[in-house]
Amino acid sequence: MDVVFNQLFAGLSMASILLIIALGLAIIYGTMGVINLAHGEFVMLGAYATWALQNFVGLGVVTALPLVFVAVAAVGWIIEKLMVQRLYHRPLDTILATWGIGIILQQAVRLSVGAESRFVKGPELLSGNTEIGALVMSNYRLFVIAFSIFVLVGSWMLMTRTEFGTKLRAVIQNRGISECYGIESKRIYSITFAYGAGLAGIAGALITPLFSTIPTMGTGLVVDAFLVVIVGGLGSLIGAASASVLIGEATALLSAVMNDTLGRIAVLAGIIILIRFRPRGLFPSDTRN
């Protein structure tokens, strides 16, 4: 029984990391229809930004978060202005273009910072465990879970409770009419893309104390993030949240029953079966086309 509770917590922890990575991807896809294959590299940039801030400025992981968000969002904003903006009418080409951007970012980091794994120190305050009976929870993982919920709620508020969100939803529904009403859709798109990139940056910062910081770290993560977005339903925040919990818990429980390799295989097989019966994911967003 103890094993089950510990695995449930492990699954939740996995889910929180997945969610925070996938959220930016879901928002960018949901609003703009851009499949951003450079998303993993935004995560990697976030990790390296954290490393740089810690090594050269002396900031801790948590205090660096706002700066990392701004820095990676700025990179996203520039990329949107330079490239993605020109491709909104050619959604398939955005896949190739963002993939190329990903390669450029990865090699740029490799050439400037180096290929070897970098060390980022975790926050002192959050080291250690919280134990409830036999359930052992790492404080840092608890923090990541809380933070991912915070980001989810924040994104939801931004979409539904602000003027920006109203404009954004208007542009999603009908870009032409929105522009007639004086909404600058280009600006809305730039900000949304930058926001999605910034979230990826935060994800990168949060995982540095747990994972290994290398230029290729984003490649595997973006695959998991896509799984979440596909299972959850493209562009749906609730979908992304429930899909990350589902995938995280399924991975944790199946790897407890079998092992990590077989658990992973079982999860992937499950996803294939799921999209056979629900091709648009668990919570497809109802858009009028």
Q: Which residue is it, tokens 């922890």?
A: 13
* Beta carbons of 60 and 239 less than 8 angstroms apart: no
Minimum CB separation of residue 42 from other proteins in Å reads 17
Minimum CB separation of residue 210 from other proteins in Å reads 6
Minimum CB separation of residue 43 from other proteins in Å reads 12
Closest CA to 210 of 119, 146, 116: 119
Is residue 63 involved in binding other proteins (CB under 8 A)? no
Token digits of residue 61 = 């992981």
Q: Which is nearer to other proteins, 25 or 47 (CB)?
A: 47
Is residue 259 involved in binding other proteins (CB under 8 A)? yes
Q: Which of 138, 178, 185, 242 binds other proteins (CB under 8 A)?
A: 138
Number of Cβ within a 10 Å radius of residue 173 = 11
DSSP at 209:
T
CA–CA distance from 169 to each of 104, 157, 164 (Å)?
32, 13, 9
* Beta carbons of 43 and 223 less than 8 angstroms apart: no
Helix (H) or strand (E) holding 278: none
Q: Which is nearer to other proteins, 119 or 150 (CB)?
A: 119
Alpha-carbon 278 to chain mean position: 23
CA–CA distance from 163 to each of 117, 188, 189, 213 (Å)?
42, 11, 14, 38
Is residue 13 involved in binding other proteins (CB under 8 A)? yes
Q: Which of 57, 66, 90, 127 binds other proteins (CB under 8 A)?
A: 127
Is residue 7 involved in binding other proteins (CB under 8 A)? yes
Q: Which of 226, 255, 267, 271 binds other proteins (CB under 8 A)?
A: 255
* Interface residue list for other proteins (CB under 8 A): 2-3, 6-7, 9-10, 13-14, 17, 115-119, 121-122, 127-129, 136, 138, 140-141, 209-214, 216-217, 220, 252, 255-256, 259-261, 263-264
